[in-house]
Amino acid sequence: MPGYFPHQRSFPDVVPAKRVVAARGRGYSGRMLDFAAQYAAFQRRDPAWDGVVFVAVKTTGVYCRPVCRARTPLARNVRFYGSAASAERAGFRPCLRCRPEAAPFCPAWKGTRTTVERALALIEEGALDRGNVEALAGRLGVGARHLSRLFAEHLDASPL
């Protein structure tokens, strides 16, 4: 019988949130979402939730985008917010990996893809005609090896 003994708790690992967040578009038809649905999307790193909800971790004091590649925290340590500003007002600081405080689709939001896009623009202007990959990487503020890794990750090709 759950709850019969005071020392035993019958709380599930995922409890309904006191505060529910309304989804804004993206195929969710504006219905109210509960904690379990948000946490499941966070575990999947569902890109459809990016910008719709922000995930704050009580134990670290950090908030992230739902697509952040950091280790998924336990459900009991998570809170969801509808905006980055509301997470900051609650006392959380932005994640340094996914940059949730940045406006959507600005260079910080796109992460390393921005470096690859800048490199491609410089290559189109002839940066590799006048120099080598090391010189290109230097103009971007990264090492040649790191630039090659970014190209492999995003384009499956080398800078050359």
Residue of 52, 57, 62, 95 with catalytic role: 95
Of 21, 98, 147, 150, which is the active-site residue? 98
Count of positions (residues) in the chain: 160
Q: Is 64 a catalytic residue?
A: yes
Buried b (16+ CB within 10 A) or exposed e, 60-92: eebbbbbbbeeeebebeebbbbbebebbbeeeb
Catalytic residue among 52, 57, 67, 68: 68
SS (H, E, C) 93-105: EECCCCCCCCCCC
106 in active site: no
Which of 64, 78, 87, 140 is flagged as catalytic?
64
Catalytic residues: 64, 68, 95, 98
